[in-house]
Amino acid sequence: MKLLNTPEKDGTPGAYSGYRTHGGKSLMHESQTISDRSAEARCSPASIETKKRLADVSRNRRSFLTMAGGSLAFAALLLPGCGEEPAPKPAAETPAKPAEPAVPEDVQAAAQNLLGKETQVLIFGDLAKTGKQQFLAANVVPKTPKNDIPGTIVTRAVLAEETDGKWSELLRCDEYLKNAKGYLALTPLAAVAGWKVQYDQDPVKGIQLYFTPIKGPADPHVLPIGIAWNPTTKRYQSLDLSYQHFLMEKPTLDTARSVLR
């Protein structure tokens, strides 16, 4: 018996018949069954666990790639500096020595009046810390002979002070050491052709001078003669060998101590 509304071809049931010839189930029912099974498979615990594992693997891989990329970038930053010597630090600049103040014209003129044109002012200012201007000037020897004694070699020197606009001589060094009262103690009896002069400037006591007589080759046993301002007598006087006590002048040279050893 034929089914209604079912086309046939060559006596075979049509492809679009409501039932299969074997099993009696429709194609639509079979497709629905396969779809349901696929959904069940996707929702099964085993399938869910597999997906989780795959997601973890993918996430770990992305993390690894990110870390690797960061490490490579950091290494790229460090590589240019590898093997390079650190740049040397610039050497500290040595402070320039302050220029010595120019000698005032009146000081230079007074020094030349006392010692002649070939006169060099060595130091000037309130040398004795008395509030008055003084200067030390000398005829400096241009070519210094070989000598172990330090200092400037001079043939003559003078120390002068200004009072009421006039300069007066307080100390003279030529063949001997003298002031207004006579010959300074410890001055050699024999005339001295040249001296080596040194000086220190004490902020309280004022200048202290050291004159060493030159007699041919340097004699290490010859000590400098110390001279300083005596605030009691108001003049420059020589000091004893300890450079602590003042010595009185001698009016004549034959009574002064001659040998300084």
Listed range (10-19, 30-39, 65-74) with the worst mean pLDDT? 10-19
pLDDT of residue 183: 97
Which pLDDT band holds residue 253 (cuts at 50, 70, 90)? confident
- Residue 21: other Cβ atoms inside 10 A: 8
Alpha carbons 29 and 226: distance in angstroms, whole number: 135
Alpha carbons 144 and 152: distance in angstroms, whole number: 8
pLDDT of residue 40: 52
Which pLDDT band holds residue 121 (cuts at 50, 70, 90)? very high
Mean pLDDT of the chain: 76
pLDDT of residue 244: 94
Which pLDDT band holds residue 10 (cuts at 50, 70, 90)? very low
128-167 per-position pLDDT tens digit: 999 999 999 999 988 656 656 667 999 999 999 999 999 9
pLDDT of residue 205: 92
Residue reference for tokens 């003049």: 235
Q: Is the pLDDT of residue 45 over 60?
A: no
pLDDT of residue 58: 63
Are 256 and 250 a contacting pair, CB within 8 Å?
Answer: yes
